[in-house]
Structure 1
C-alpha cells in the first residue's frame, strides 16, 4: 500500500481568539483580580493580574506622553525582570510593537538592531548578571545633541539607577519615566483613544532571528501579531493543561519566544502564576524556586535540565508538586526523561517545535502520548495549523520520506520587518494560494502524523555523497552512560569530503569512555559510516568547558565546526580515532 502524502492538518477547534493584548489584559484582571500573575524572586517582586493591568495603563500613558503613537517601535534589553513584562504589556496596549533585544548583543549589535527596527524608545538594564552594559547605554545615547547613527531614537530609559555624563539622546530612569504616566494631560480618555486604534492583526512584537549579524549582513526581524502570540500561547498552555492553580518556573530569557510566549503568555492566558528565578540562568536560584514557590511546571532546554538535576543531586532538594514541563531547542532523550521522572517527579515532559517566524510553536507532544512518541518526536500540529514535507524541487513527499518541513496557518509571521525580499524567500504561496513557511529543517512525518526532526538542512553532514543527520547520532551518544551531552558536526576530510565529529560532555563522576568505544557504540545501531571519526571533549586543551550557545540556549553548531576543523587541520591527533 502506498504511504499517504506527507501533509497534516490540525483541528479547527476551539475557534481562534481575535483580540488584542490590551483587551486580554483587562479581561484577565477582571477575572483573576489579586491572584498572583508573576513572581520575580531575585527582585523580591510579586505582581497580581490587577497590578499588571494598572501598571500597563500608567506606563502606556507615559509612552503616549513622550509622543509615541500607534506603530512606533519600543526596544527592551534586560534580564528577566518585572519591568520587562510591564513594558511588553504597555506597548501592546497602545499599539507600539515591542522589539526584544538579545542580551548577548555587543554594543554595536545593539545599535544595529535598534537602528534596523527604528526604535523611538529603548529600555535597557545597566547590567545583566555580572555583565555591565554601560558601554551599550553609551552607544545608544551618543555624544551629540542627536545620535546620528540612531536618528529615530528619542529616549533611553535605564531600568536601574541613573546614567550620568553628556547624553545626546534624552536619558531617564524607569521610575521617572513611569511617573510621566500620572501627567494631568494623560487621562483615561487619551489612553482609550490610543487603544481603540489597535487591531488584532497588528504587529505586537518584533523578534530578530538568530542569524542577526551585528553591523553587517541583512538582519531579519519577524513581525508577530496579537493573533499570532495570544493564540499560540493559548494552545501550548492547553497542551500542558494549565489552570489558575499552576505555578510555572521560567529560566529561559524573555528576549526569546520561549520565555515571552511559551513562558509568560502561556501562563497569562490561563490565569496561572509564573516565576522568574533570576535575571539570567542561575541554576542555584532555579532549584530554590522549584521548592520555595511549589512549582508545578518547569520550562527549559535540555542543557538547563541537566544542570538542575546535577544541582539537586548535591543539595538533596526535590520539588513537591512538579507534574510536567516544556522543552524546546532540542529533543529530550529517554535517559534524561527517566532522570526527570525519578529525581524531579516530572511525569511527562512535553516537547515543542517551531521557529521565531511561527510565533513560535507549530508542533507539540501531548500528555497522553505514548513514551515512544514523547521522546522521539516533536508531536503533532497544533490547532488551526497545517504542515507538509517537500523535496528540494518543492514536490510533496510521502509519509516516512525525509525532506524540508513547511508550515502554514494562523501562527505564521506577518513577514520580516521592512524586508520584503527575505519574506518572499521564506514564505511562499502554493497553487491554492496558501502561504507556507519554509523552515529549513529536515523532517519526516510518520503514519500517525507525528513529526520527527532530523536536523537543519544546512547542518547535514555529507560523507562520501551520503547524507548523515546529526540528531540521530547525538541521541545515540547520549544513551551511553558516560556521555551527558553531545553535538555532532561536519569535519572536512580529504577522502570523504566530510566526516562526523562529535563534541561531548562527560557524565560527572564517571570514567570517560574511549573514542573507539563510542565509535563502536554508534556504529552498532546506526552503521559504521555514522560513527564519529573525531571526538572532542569539553574542557580539553583548546576547547571550552561548555558548548557555545545562543542567548536562548541553542548550541552554535557553526562555532563547533570552526573549532573542530581548526583542531584537526592544525595537526592535532588527540581527537582522531
Structure 2
C-alpha cells in the first residue's frame, strides 16, 4: 500500500519475519527424530518443544506473508466467480491482503470497535475467509455460526455473546438467511441501515448481506468494502490498531456443546489458533514444499478456518476450496484440476469420496498428505485413502474446539495400524495426562479422562465462569470428557466419552438440546437421545420416545416436526417408542443401558463390537 507503515508496526513485522525464519530453520532437523516419551510409567506426555511458540497476531503474519511472496496464489475458490457463479476466483497474497484491509476499514467505518463481536453465518465463500482476516485486523471477535442453524439457534448465539454486527450469506440450499432474520427481527426491513433495534436480539445493530441484491435494513457486503476506501481516517485507525492488538487478545468465539449443557462459546486468541495451525502444518510437512491444500471442511469449524485458512499466512500455502459445502464430486474435480497436494476431511467425507463411481479414473497422484479428524477412521477406509487417493503421508488428528483444536496428531511415517489404532502423539508444546476422577495421573495403559494443558487451551467460555470452571481447574488442565489411554510409545487412544455427547460425521451434538425441543411436542411425554454406531457417519442419533396417555405419533410425524425447526444433522435417524426406560434407584435414566438396548433392537451389535475394538 502507498501509505507509510509506522516504525513500531514495521519493527513488529520484522520480528515476526525473523521468528518465521528461525522456525523454518529449526524445522529441518526437528521432525527427523521425535523425543522418546518420559521414562516414568505415569500417563503423562508433552509434545516436542525445541521449536519455540510464535508471538504476533493474524494481521501481522498476513503482512509478513505478503512481504515474502506477494505474487504467490493465496487461494482459489472453484465457484462464485462470473455471472453464473461457476468461474474460479483466484487471489495472490498481495491481492488478498488488499481486500482484507479494505474490508477491515469498512468495519471500522461502521463504528465497530475492537472487542465487538462480529457474527458470520453462511457456507464457505470468498467473503467468509476475507471477513475472517479482516475481523482479526480490525480487532473484532469473529463469532462462527453454523450455516445449518435455524432461527431460534441463531437467536441463542447472538444473545449469548452479544453479537453487534452480522455478516450473512443471502441464502443456501433451503436456507433463506434474510427471511430467517426477518422472522426473528420484524423490525429489520423497516430499520435504517446500520440502525437495527431488535427486541429479540437487542445487541444486534448491523446486518451485512453478501451478494448483489439489496435488502431493506441491511448493508451490502460490497458497500461496506467501498465505505472503507472512501474514509481516509480508517486507514490511520487500522495502522494504530496493528500496534495495539496483542497475541493474547480473544479473536474468535466458536460454539460447542463441549461435554455438558447447552452450546457454549469457546473464546480463542490469536496465540491459540495461530500456533496450533502452525504446528499441525509442520506435522503435515507443509514447511518442506509449497502446499496446495484442498479444504472441503466448513469454515465455521476450527478445522476449516484454523487448520485450513491460516496455512495461507503460516506456511505460504495455497488453499483451494471446491464448493460451498461438501460435495465429493466437486472435491475430486478440484484435486485433479488444481494439482492439490493435501486434502482435509472427516472419515465420513473420505468414505463418500471413495464411493464416487469414477474415483479410480481420476488423476489424483498430486496428493501426498492431509488430515483426517472428527471421528475415528476405520482401518479399511485408511487403507483405501492411502492406496486409491495416494495419500501416503496422511495424518490422523484429535482435539476439541476448546483446544484450538488439535492436541494429538499422527506422524507421516506412522504405520497404517498406528494411524488407525491411535490418534497419534501429543502436538508440540501440549501436555497430556490420563487422569482418574480426582485428577491424578494414571499408569501407562490405564484408561481415564484425557486432560490437556498448554498454550492452545481456550481463554474460557465467553462470559461463563461457571461452565469454564467445570472443565478448567486452577491447575489449567482442561478436562475433555473423553476416555482414553496413553501407550508406552506416547500415542493416545480414544475409547469413548464420559458423558453423552454424540459425534455424527464430525458434528458435535448434545442430546439435551434436542430432547428439550422434542418435549415441546404435545404427544411426547419424554424423549431420550442416544448415539448408536454407524459405519459411514461414525454415530447416528436415535430417539426413544414415551408418549402421553391416549396420544399417538409416528416416526414420519416426529421427523416432520423437527424439519426446519432444528438443524438437519440434529434430526434423529432412528425413532423408537417405549413405555419406560431403564432407571437408577434415584429415578435417573440409565443412558448407557438404554443405548445397549437400542443397539440390540436395531441390530447394530456388529457395528458396536467394531467400535469398542
Whole-angstrom CA distance in 2 between matches of 1:182 and 1:107: 34
> Post-superposition shift, 1:117?
1.6
Query: Please, which of 255, 261, 265 is the counterpart of residue 300 of structure 2?
Result: 255
Pick from 203, 207, 211: which aligns with 1:156?
A: 207
Describe the shift of the 1:544–1:120 C-alpha distance in structure 2 as closer, same or farther (beyond 3 A). Answer: closer
Whether 1:226 aligns to 2:263 is no
C-alpha distance in 1 between matches for 2:359 and 2:111? 53
Output one character per residue of 1:169-218: Cα deviation in whole Å (capped at 9) or x when no partner: xx1111111110112343522211122221100011110114699xxx75
Alignment root-mean-square deviation, CA: 3.3
The alpha carbon displacement at 1:429 in A equals: 2.4
- Tell me which of 178, 181, 188 is aligned to 1:137: 181
Residues 238 and 187 (structure 1), Cα distance of their counterparts in 2 relative to 1, 3 Å cut: same
The answer for the alignment partner of 2:146 in structure 1 is 102
Matched, 1:78 2:78: no
The answer as to 2:58 corresponding to 1:17 is no
Partner of 1:519: none
Give the corresponding residue for 1:353: 398
Residue equivalent to 1:344: 389
For residues 604 and 306 of structure 2, the distance between their equivalents in structure 1, rounded to whole angstroms, comes to 43
Alignment counterpart, residue 192 of structure 1, candidates 239, 247, 251: 239
Q: What is the TM-score when the length of structure 2 is the normalising length? A: 0.74
State the 1:426 CA deviation. Answer: 0.5
Where has structure 1 moved over 6 Å in runs of 4 or more? 541-545, 553-556, 564-570
Alignment deviations for residues 370-413 of structure 1 (CA, whole Å, 9 cap, x no partner): 33312211111111110101112322210000000000000000
Structure 1 counterpart SS, 2:233: coil
Q: What secondary structure sits across from 2:477 in the alignment?
A: strand
3-state SS, counterpart of residue 399 of structure 1: coil
How many residues align? The count is: 490
Aligned-pair distance for 1:504? 4.9
Gap runs ≥5 in structure 2: 1-38, 81-87, 192-196, 505-510, 512-529, 538-554, 580-593, 606-613
Summarize the Cα distance change of 1:239–1:312 in structure 2 as closer, same or farther, 3 Å threshold.
farther
Question: Hey, what does 2:608 align to over in structure 1?
Answer: none
Whether contact under 8 Å (1:352, 1:363) holds in the other structure is yes
Q: Which residue of 2 aligns with 1:464?
A: none
Q: After superposition, where does 1:145-544 map in structure 2 within 5 Å?
A: 145=191, 146-165=197-216, 167=217, 171-210=218-257, 218-243=262-287, 245-313=290-358, 316-430=361-475, 435-459=476-500, 502-504=533-535
Q: Following the alignment from structure 1 to structure 2, what is the Cα–Cα distance between the partners of residues 123 and 140?
A: 16
Secondary structure of the residue aligned to 1:37 is: strand
Q: Does the CA contact (< 8 Å) of 1:126 and 1:137 recur in 2?
A: no
Residue of structure 1 equivalent to 2:74: 37
Deviation at 1:69, TM superposition (A): 1.0
Q: Distance in 1 between matches of 2:126 and 2:316?
A: 17
Cα distance 1:290–1:395, how it changes in 2: closer, same or farther (>3 A)? same
Is the alpha carbon distance of 1:188 and 1:442 closer, same or farther for their aligned partners in structure 2, counting shifts above 3 Å? Answer: same
Contact 1:70 1:197 in 2 (8 A): no
Q: Cα distance 1:125–1:289, how it changes in 2: closer, same or farther (>3 A)? A: same
> How big is each residue's C-alpha offset from its partner over 1:459-490, in whole Å with a ceiling of 9 and x where there is no partner?
59xxxxxxxxx99xx9xxxxxxxxxxxxxx9x
Q: 1:47 aligns with which of 91, 96, 115?
A: 91
* Contact 2:259–2:481 (8 Å) recurs in 1: no
CA–CA separation in structure 2 for the residues paired with 1:18 and 1:252: 27
Structure 1, residues 548-568: CA drift from partner, whole Å, max 9, x if none?
A: 9xxxx9987x94686597999
Instruction: Give the drift of 1:151.
Output: 1.9
Whether the 8 Å CA contact 2:185–2:199 is kept in 1: the answer is no
Is residue 109–residue 231 contact of structure 2 (8 Å, CA) maintained in 1? Answer: no
Is 2:63 the counterpart of 1:26? yes
Instruction: Give the secondary-structure state (helix, strand or coil) at the position aligned to 1:357.
Output: helix
Distance 1:315 1:238, change over 3 A: closer
Structure-2 change in CA distance of 1:60 and 1:276 (3 Å): same
Contact 2:398–2:409 under 8 Å retained in 1: yes
For 1:220 and 1:149, locate their aligned partners in 2 and report how far apart those are by CA, in whole Å: 19
- The answer to whether the 8 Å contact 1:124/1:137 transfers is no
Task: List gaps (5 residues or longer) in structure 1.
Answer: 461-469, 475-488, 490-498, 507-540
Note the alpha carbon deviations across 1:213-265, whole angstroms, 9 max, x for none: 9xxx7531011000001000000000000145211111110000011111111
Helix, strand or coil for the counterpart of 1:274?
strand
Measured after TM superposition, the shift of residue 543 of structure 1 is: 13
